Homo-oligomer: A and B are copies of this chain.
Amino acid sequence: MSKLKPIDRSSFEPPYSQVARGMRERIVDGQYRAGDRLPSEAELCALYDVSRMTVRRAVALLVQDGVVFTENGRGTFVRAPELGAATFDLGSLRRLVDDAATTVKISEARIVPPSPRVRRKLAVDAESHVVAIRRVLSSAGEPVFYHTEYLVFDPRRPLVEAEYGVTALRDLLANAGKSGFKYGRLQLHASTLTETEASYLGEEPGMSAWVIEHLFFDFEDRPVSWGRFIGRSDRLDFSTTVGVPDVGKGAGE
């Protein structure tokens, strides 16, 4: 066990990241394999000539990435890639909305009495009203997603037209900074296009599609917005990796 890769103190990359990258490389190389125990923190301190907190931070990075796991009193071990540990994110949906070539057209925005389903979702009675918004998201002129949203209508605070537009959607998806929501629940479904949805998207009914259902709550835990994104299954990319595919990504904070 020798000091194979000493820390470059003049580098812009801080030591904890260099240590993490070094260990990651050894795992990728196969020097340490699934189940193997890594050198103890004290040993790594000596190997890289850094303090223990720095080593622990490096290890914490690898733990966070699912590359290794620690057991109290035993050591740090390389984790085997697990299919069940995979996570998928909505990155491609976010990219779609952030893309300049994406346009949002509001096909409908009016105050309606709530349907039974909307009543149940938004926990409102039949006498109240909701704002129904339907949008079509297009990328490069081609319709990609059909979005329906129902907002609890508050007659005391009439909303500005702009709030239903593109900005509101962008705030919902990307960083809002200021949104009236406390939290939201999301569900991902596999479904098929109805005739209405297919007509909006220029596809054929029965085609397999994604449904992203979202329900947002205000600070009093009352539901205020319920809606669904519906789009062709090939327009959203849910792909991910388990294990240690490459090293390049471990550097950024």
Interface residues of A, Cβ cutoff 8 Å to B: 28, 30, 33-35, 53, 64, 79-91, 93-94, 97, 171-179, 181-192, 206, 208-210, 212, 214, 216, 219, 233, 237-245
Is B88 touching A243 in the complex (CB atoms < 8 A)?
Answer: no
Q: List 9 A-B contacts (CB under 8 A).
A: A87-B89, A181-B243, A184-B243, A186-B240, A187-B239, A190-B210, A192-B206, A206-B206, A208-B209
9 pairs of A and B residues whose beta carbons are closest in the complex: A183-B243, A84-B94, A188-B238, A190-B190, A190-B233, A80-B176, A84-B173, A187-B239, A30-B219
A97 to B209, CA, bound (A): 26
Is A175 touching B82 in the complex (CB atoms < 8 A)?
Answer: yes
CB distance from A213 to the nearest CB of B (A): 9
Copies in the complex: 2
A82 contacts across to B, CB distance below 8 A: 172-176
Query: A241 with B182: in contact, given A83-B172, A84-B97, A87-B87 (CB under 8 Å)?
Result: no
Is B186 touching A86 in the complex (CB atoms < 8 A)?
Answer: yes
Query: A90 with B84: in contact, given A34-B178, A191-B233, A210-B190 (CB under 8 Å)?
Result: yes
CB distance from A244 to the nearest CB of B (A): 5
Query: A91 with B84: in contact, given A33-B219, A35-B178, A190-B209 (CB under 8 Å)?
Result: yes
A219 to B28, CA, bound (A): 8
Q: A83-B214, A84-B97, A184-B241 are in contact. List 18 more A-B contacts (CB 8 A).
A: A30-B219, A80-B177, A80-B181, A81-B182, A82-B173, A83-B173, A83-B186, A84-B94, A84-B174, A85-B94, A87-B87, A88-B89, A182-B244, A183-B243, A188-B239, A189-B208, A190-B233, A208-B209
Is A80 touching B178 in the complex (CB atoms < 8 A)?
Answer: yes
A239 contacts across to B, CB distance below 8 A: 185-188
Is B87 touching A88 in the complex (CB atoms < 8 A)?
Answer: yes
A176 contacts across to B, CB distance below 8 A: 34, 80-82
A240's nearest neighbour on chain B, judged by CB, is B186
A187 contacts across to B, CB distance below 8 A: 237-239
A53 contacts across to B, CB distance below 8 A: 53
CB distance from A246 to the nearest CB of B (A): 9
